[in-house]
Amino acid sequence: MAKKHAEVGTTAVAMAMRQINPDVLAAYPVTPQTAIVQTFSQYVADGKVDTEFITVESEHSAMSACVGAAAAGARVMTATASAGLALMWEILSVASGLRMPITMVNVNRALSAPINIHCDHSDSMGARDSGWIQIYSENSQEVYDNVIQAIRISENEEVRLPVMVMMDGFIISHGIEEFETLEDEDVKDFIGENKPKYSLLDVKEPVTHGPLQLFDYYFETKRQQADAIYKARSVIEEVGRQYEKLSGRSQPIIEKYFTDDAEYIVVVLSSTAGTAKSVVKELRKEGLKVGLIKPRIFRPFPYFELEEVLKNMKAIAVLDRSCSFGAQGGPLYIEIRSALYELVQKPLIKNYIYGLGGRDISLENIRSIYSDLEEIAKIGKVEKPVSYFGVRK
């Protein structure tokens, strides 16, 4: 029987971690992730998990210890945010390049400078090419569900890649919401046993992890890695189907909300999708053909799914909670425009960069974006493809 809770998002993550009961957790405190490791530390202190918790002296060492522990065949987890993820940067690509199954929760927070502790996606978007699978969560329920699925995805023999599960800092991490947890036994059965193939602790079959590869082999290794993350797409879907059976909650690669007959659509990640859904509901009552798409998976990017659902739209607004400085728009927008390139009849598309450093986005704000889309469709072109939404002049 599922249990209902009303807790903050960090507790939802810690509860999932307790049920997963990883062999090793290596983590360093950073706002707004801190409550995750604090709650988990208490589980360790109270003997509610078997986990060995490595209280490292930095995030660089957190990820390094995760790589070492995963290479030794342990099931490994960590959590971080913002500056912590930035400090891990070098070892993120070591983790994916060595094909280490590691599950990490990143509580999205703005990057310095200026220093800011609130939500935007500049931290994880900065790591979008690090070779990690990236899953974005709208609310506490989703982050709980995604963390459990991440274990299965990362350890899949075809994949063997690290997975980053995102939740919005403060908005979700520190907001109390209702969510359901599965039974401990169900989680245990669902994730199963980790079966490492090349463990460092297999002293009878010694393996060299992390050798030097130059121009003669490096490229092939990277090509295999590129194939692996594309293969992860079907694994993510299969794990999602099985998880849906267990939980009753669907786990789509992209969530479609009133898209069937929609003409105006907003595409947005994470918690803002929740706000946008209630706007869609209101506007639908007023008879407007509006809808919403929330990609759950950002890496591997769901090109085909997005192309399929967006191709008949009159106008699309892509909301990005981070900047790709010097690029033609935010990361989500760039990818979606690329996904639509093959279409002969391309829908009109506009990018809104919003909410940096935790600036709130209101129901009225999102309403105005749908009005913009109507206007864009009416005049048949996008005057200003990239705009900074809600910023003072």
Partner 1 sequence: MVSLKEIVKKERRLSPGHRLCPGCGASVVANMVLWATDDPVVIGISTGCLEVSTTIYPQTAWNIPYIHSAFENAASTISGVETAYRALKKKGKIKENIKFVAFGGDGGTYDIGLQALSGAMERGHNMVYVCYDNEAYMNTGIQRSSATPFGASTTTSPAGSVIPGKLQKRKDLTYIMAAHKIPYVAQGSISHWRDLIKKAVKAFEVDGPAFLNVLSPCPRGWRYDSKLTINIAKEAVTSNFWSLYEVENGNWKLTYKPKEKTPIENWLKKQGRFKHLFKPENTHIIDEIQNYIDNDWEDLLKRCGE
Interface with partner 1, residue 55, by CB under 8 A:
yes
* From candidates 98, 110, 236, 239, binder to partner 1 by CB under 8 A: 98
* From candidates 68, 101, 169, 291, binder to partner 1 by CB under 8 A: 68
Which distant-in-sequence residues (6+ apart) come within 8 Å of 181 by Cβ?
Answer: 2, 3, 5, 12, 15, 16, 19, 144
C-alpha torsion angle, residues 327, 328, 333, 338 (rounded to 10) = -100
Interface with partner 1, residue 67, by CB under 8 A:
yes
Question: Taking a C-beta distance cutoff of 8 angstroms, is the pair 274, 363 a contact?
Answer: no
* From candidates 38, 90, 219, 388, binder to partner 1 by CB under 8 A: 90
Interface with partner 1, residue 288, by CB under 8 A:
no
Residue list 216-275, contact with partner 1 (CB under 8 A): 217
Give the Cα separation of 393 and 390 in Å (integer): 9
Interface with partner 1, residue 188, by CB under 8 A:
no
Give the Cα separation of 211 and 293 in Å (integer): 43
Please give the helix or strand (H or E) that residue 388 lies within, else none: strand 386-388
Give the Cα separation of 263 and 181 in Å (integer): 37
CA–CA–CA angle 212, 213, 219 (5° rounding): 155
- CA-closest candidate to residue 236, choices 181, 295, 311, 318: 295
* From candidates 5, 60, 231, 367, binder to partner 1 by CB under 8 A: 60
Which distant-in-sequence residues (6+ apart) come within 8 Å of 244 by Cβ?
Answer: 250, 251
Choices 72-80, 108-116, 159-167, 226-234; region in contact with partner 1 by CB under 8 A: 72-80
In degrees and rounded to multiples of 5, residue 266 shows phi and psi of: -110, 135
Which C-beta is closer to partner 1: that of 200 or that of 254? 200
Residue bearing tokens 């690290």:
162
Interface with partner 1, residue 211, by CB under 8 A:
yes
Interface with partner 1, residue 86, by CB under 8 A:
no
Residue list 7-46, contact with partner 1 (CB under 8 A): 23-24, 26
Interface with partner 1, residue 47, by CB under 8 A:
no
Give the Cα separation of 244 and 264 in Å (integer): 29
Which C-beta is closer to partner 1: that of 207 or that of 327? 207
Interface with partner 1, residue 88, by CB under 8 A:
no
Choices 67-75, 225-233, 244-252, 363-371; region in contact with partner 1 by CB under 8 A: 67-75
- Smallest gap from Cβ 26 to partner 1, in A, equals 6
Interface with partner 1, residue 209, by CB under 8 A:
yes
- Smallest gap from Cβ 74 to partner 1, in A, equals 4
Residues that bind partner 1 (CB under 8 A): 23-24, 26, 50-52, 54-58, 60-61, 64-74, 76, 90-91, 94, 98, 200-203, 206-214, 217
